[in-house]
A and B are shown apart, each in its own frame.
Chain A
């Protein structure tokens, strides 16, 4: 608690979070000692290949991790309150109001048999003491805010009658309808067309200005975050391997994995999957390599890397890296 006192801007502070999944083939250490921070009004990115545990980190933060998940350790402080100690009802009260989440695939994350407007109004009605008419007008407001051209029509439409971009806007409207202080967006553009992707990213940035919320953006596409985020966490195989402000990270990546990621974005075809440009495969989640988890793919691998996992090194000015190269 004392630590937070010095950072009055602190909103979310996750420390040493471990979320393990019990699956038939063993235990997946999906989130394995993650610490991160998001300040008020700040935009922070969590970047890593698919399967690295980004979504699991986000889900654990709003405590919607799957039933097979076990949280072994950690603290999730939101406004100095440890979410892991809250009862279910209080957690429900926070969801949608303090933390809201936008998911990856607008096709599947909307209820197919409920009208779009009703799905959004539900959040308002759940958290605010308002009449149905009031809720409706709030929703139409939110629709306008997220740039839905004909809010009335969309309100009464079913998801299958809307385009992908429109659906994602509905999901975003849903997330901001109660003006949360933290918006978690988990790959919000991955399922969309390239042109729409940019629109949605702009929308998120624009909304942040308007609503003054913090944005925790999760993506596997490091190119996407450059213009929108203040700081970046790089995640690999359940762990944070590097952290820096955006400018520094792009200018001067430290971790070999970050280097690889950046190389892939610089390649002409941005849409090439990351793991194709970094040699080798994401490790088997139930059977992680010993030592540094990146070592089978690392071009700079040393002997110690295979034996011992590298410590998280504080490089000053908020920079962090976990790699034997900087010991």
Chain B
């Protein structure tokens, strides 16, 4: 049945192959997190200035008094039943907390990711067209700067300039706290809040896409079939976008896909700087609170998202490149 859908069969197989990988990810995360200094009981006890007995009670409640392998077994057993556990800080099922935070991250990420990919590719194509011109050198320099600039720093710079100095945009958060009507004004309000974090978030990624697109475009433009395309009398735009870009895009797509992991990492910084109520900040807060089940749950969800992103990358690659067979 699936034989008629090679893509589907391929996807299913890839997902099945990922299962043992996810298992190892869980084991490793679990071990690392539990070996790191501190634990949720210590944190809770310290913020509440609890007594030693209270601390012991907390440890018992969180199951931290059991040997590590027992704790891991319990965790895996629960996981088999699709139970990600209970957040020690939020005191809610982990999955629920993640689902609460996911839309905000998705909004930010989808926006930033599309801005970055689109702008990166377009700028990369333009730069490749004007290879080694002054503009190209400047763009390359700027992209290097963008690439090496810490997100924290860039975010703060943008906040200082656009939010504080020019006072055009809100400095943080996702909503205005005062006087926003529901409906379109509320949507607009979210978009206003989205702009700066999306740009910050997009910058690192965009510079990367830019540099790769530019390089791959230069390589592709030197290839023979470009000469054929030009000899057909196609104008330059067609040659660039229809012939060169489609070929150069293959490695770019791979890079975008592989970078998804970094994009997730970038969300931690961006969301923290901009007070964006998404998963990135949830990670930050959960690590601060040593909220083991929460951290593990997020890592699990994130690794699955990364694997999914890689799968989508491969499928996209196959769709763009007719030479790829699913085997």
Contacts and interface: CB of A to CB of B under 8 A. Distances in A.
Interface string A100-119: 11010100111111100001
Interface in A64-100: 64, 88-89, 92-97, 100
B133 to A, nearest CB: 11
A96 B323 contact: no
A171 interface: yes
Given A114-B246, A158-B322, A109 B227 contact: yes
Interface size, B (range): 20 to 34
Interface in B289-327: 320-323
A25 to B, nearest CB: 18
Contacts of B60: none
B182 interface: no
Contacts of A105: 224
Contacts of B321: 112-113
Contacts of A64: 227, 230-231
A160 interface: yes
B246 A174 contact: no
Nearest to A178: B233
A62 interface: yes
A305 B235 CA distance: 46
Contact of A160 (B224, B227, B246, B323): B323
A127 interface: yes
Contacts of A160: 322-323
Nearest to A67: B131
Of listed A103, A111, A171, A174, residue having the most chain B CB within 10 A: A111
A103 B223 CA distance: 13
A123 interface: yes
A245 interface: no
A154 to B, nearest CB: 14
Nearest to B250: A113
Contacts of B81: none
A287 interface: no
Interface in B118-137: none
A93 B224 contact: no
Contacts, number: 77
Given A108-B224, A112-B247, A126 B231 contact: no
Contacts of B229: 111, 122
A101 B224 CA distance: 13
B305 to A, nearest CB: 28
A110 B322 contact: no
Contact of B234 (A59, A92, A109): A92
Contacts of B224: 103, 105, 108-109
B232 interface: yes
B153 interface: no
Contact of A113 (B227, B233, B247): B247
Interface residues of A, number: 31
B234 A122 contact: yes
Contacts of B232: 95-96, 122-123, 126, 174
B176 interface: no
Contacts of B250: 113
B92 interface: no
Nearest to B249: A113
A88 B228 CA distance: 16
Contacts of A122: 229, 232, 234, 242
Nearest to B243: A111
Nearest to A92: B233
A123 B233 contact: yes
Contacts of B323: 112-113, 158, 160
Interface string B28-51: 000000000000000000000000
A207 B306 CA distance: 56
B225 interface: yes
Interface string B177-218: 000000000000000000000000000000000000000000
A109 B235 contact: no
Contacts of B227: 59, 64, 103, 109
A114 B243 CA distance: 8
Contacts of A110: 225, 228
Contacts of B230: 64, 95
Contacts of A93: 233
A126 B247 contact: no
Nearest to A161: B322
A158 B319 CA distance: 13
A258 B211 CA distance: 50
18 contacts: A89-B235, A92-B235, A95-B230, A95-B231, A95-B233, A100-B231, A109-B224, A109-B228, A111-B243, A111-B247, A112-B323, A122-B229, A122-B234, A126-B232, A126-B234, A126-B238, A174-B228, A174-B232
The 9 lowest CB-CB distance pairs between A and B, nearest first, are: A95-B233, A96-B233, A108-B224, A158-B322, A101-B231, A111-B225, A123-B232, A96-B232, A109-B224
Given A88-B235, A95-B233, A109-B228, 12 more contacts: A64-B230, A92-B235, A94-B233, A95-B232, A96-B232, A97-B233, A103-B231, A109-B225, A111-B246, A113-B322, A122-B229, A174-B228
